[in-house]
Structure 1
Amino acid sequence: MGQKEATSIRPFVLFTYLLFWILFSITGLAVFLQAPPIVLTVLKNICAWSSTFVVLLLLRHTKESIPDFIKKQFPRVGIADFMIPTVIQALIVALSILCFILLRGESVKGLSYIKLSDIVPAILINITSGPSGEELGWRGYALNALQKKHSPLVSAILIGLLWGAWHFPLWLVSGLSGYDLVVYSLSFMLGICSFSVFLTYFYNKSKNLLVAVWVHFLFNMLLQIVLIEDYRLITIVSVFYLVASTLLILIDKKSMTTNDSLTSAAPRVGGSS
């Protein structure tokens, strides 16, 4: 990573981690005090917005205004930019669940599904948490900053590692321990790095943040349609996202290994954009 790029994203990463830990601790205190479920849900969603809060703060120290930066995140976009990743992600989840039940010797008929009455609340909770709360920071700011120096592939992997490690506190409260926690953590990192490449590919096609929000939303929401509370499903999903990302790179190698066509980038802190 070049010195200027490191200078650009280092404050973002450090302050995002710090703020998330603070908000996470407040949420943990609320759990300890047995706060109402609605309060806990709101606090959990606020935690997901830590990167956005940090970006808005950092932008005050650049020559680019917040309205201009946000406006730049929403250029013209086509329906195909949403439909193509939607089909691929639906296929990934379907194949993952099929492999999961086959490996366990179970039947599709034995699966449990989300209740109709829970669909709308699940959509609202999901869309207002990670998808809308994380993408302005991790994709709109940090990814674009890295892509000023590195290829989309390298930038996506770096973001995947940083973004994945940012979730570390969530691993500690997963309820897992020992071998299971290690497998879950490694699967999570594999999955989030693979997903970061997948997401970067489709985001770069339009540079419209709504695409990133949508793809992120589908990643979360599709896994909640079928009720499977077994961390080993994450391992299978991670492998399929790795396969999908690898195929995208092989099919469209140029767009992931060169950054000649990338013009949108995050401003450097303390400097011009």
Structure 2
Amino acid sequence: MKIKKMDTMWQYVMFTYLLFWFMVLGLGGIAIFVFDVTPFGMSCVTTLCSWAPTIVLLIMLKKLKPGTSIKNFYKEAFKEKLNFSVFFIASLVIVGVFLISTGVLSVFEKTAQLQFAATGLLGNILFTAIQGASGEESGWRGFLMTEMEGKYGFVKGNLILGLIWAFWHLPLWFVSTNYSGLHLLIYILSFIIGLTAFSIIIGVCMKKCNNLFLSFWMHFLFNFVLTFFIGKDVYLLASLAVLYTVAAVIFTFVYLHKKGVRLSLKAHTRG
């Protein structure tokens, strides 16, 4: 019996997982157990690891996109004009969801959940920019989102992409947190649900502005607002998961409704 060959899209996913997990467990293990690095040093290692999706993409680009050079890939990814109304709405949702979550937590915990400090702000901006968004989005939204949507459709494709994105972080659930038992379970489930919902929101926004910078910005802002949080991550993630799921359902409904209206109008015009 012949074994069906894995298509290049799933090969990309597999190699991105393998590289990231190897880097986190290998480099992270060496950094912790051999060199006893500081938390800042470990953050630098994590930042390097976060570039795995882009590293694999660039190495496999000729196989993934035959005839496309790195220059042409990025030229195509950034060619569409930026839609600032989409940027504004996306930013409003991200900041709004975060502030609502922290506001609710501050009421229940009866303590401040946010801390704003001018000192270190620039460092947070630069570190957040290079840690997640810059290293990941070329792979997730620059390549994989289009492939997933083409193969599975918009909703299913972005659901699968969100799950791939979430489970890719699996080693960090155990390496970068101190949770165990029920708290760890809540953390993992909230992470998966929240990131999958956020992936769908990015997908909808990029239908309105198919410029890779938009996904960079949304991913960056998602991470950046978290730098001001000083409460318990597990409670924040649970709240974010609920609110982002609600937002994702609304975004998807509006997108599909408008798409259906446009298709109906086209059919009516042709008729």
Give the TM-score category using the shorter length. 0.7 to 0.9
In structure 2, what is the Cα distance between the partners aligned to 1:10 and 1:251?
Answer: 30
Cα distance change on mapping 1:176 and 1:257 into 2, 3 Å: farther
More helix by share: 2
The residue matched to 1:227 in structure 2 has which SS?
coil
Partner of residue 197 from structure 1, selected from 188, 195, 200:
200
Whether 2:142 is the aligned partner of 1:137: answer no
- Please give the root-mean-square deviation of Cα atoms over the aligned residues, in Å: 2.1
- Secondary structure at the residue paired with 1:204? helix
Distance 1:48 1:240, change over 3 A: same
Choose 1 or 2 for highest CA Rg: 2
TM-score, normalised with respect to structure 2? 0.86
Q: Which residue of 1 aligns with 2:75?
A: 71
Could you list the per-position Cα deviations for residues 152-171 of structure 1 after superposition, in whole angstroms to 9, with x for gaps in the alignment?
Answer: 21111000111111100011
Distance in 2 of aligned mates of 1:154 and 1:257: 17
d(CA) in 2 for partners of 1:190, 1:257: 27
Q: 1:152 to 1:216 in 2, by over 3 A?
A: same
Shift of 1:79: 1.6
Give the C-alpha shift of residue 111 in structure 1. 4.0
Look up the SS of the partner of 1:212 in the other structure.
helix
**Any gaps of 5 or more consecutive residues in structure 2?**
264-271
Aligned partner of 1:160: which letter?
Answer: G
The superposition leaves residues 119-171 of structure 1 with CA deviations (integer Å, 9 ceiling, x where unpaired) of 11111111001111100001111111111122221111000111111100011
- Is 1:94 aligned to residue 94 of structure 2? no
Which residue is equivalent to 1:40?
Answer: 42
Give deviations 1:210-246, integer Å, cap 9, x for gaps. Answer: 0000001111111222322331111001110001111
Partner residue, 1:231: 234
Normalised by the size of structure 1, how large is the TM-score?
A: 0.86
For residues 112 and 219 of structure 1, what CA distance do their matches in structure 2 show? 15
Which of 1 and 2 has higher RCO (CA within 8 Å, sep 6+)?
A: 1
Q: Output the CA distance in 2 between the equivalents of 1:12 and 1:252.
A: 29
Alignment-derived partner of residue 26 in structure 1 = 27
**Which residue identity is paired with 2:20?**
F
- Once residues 37 and 256 of structure 1 are traced to their aligned partners in structure 2, the CA distance between those partners, rounded to angstroms, is 47
Gaps of 5+ in 1: 261-273
Residue deviations 1:162-196 (CA, integer Å, cap 9, x gap): 11111000111211111111111011101011011
Identity level (%): 29
The aligned residue for residue 121 of structure 1 is 123
Figure out how many residues of one structure are paired with residues of the other and give that number.
252
1:116 is paired with a residue whose SS is coil
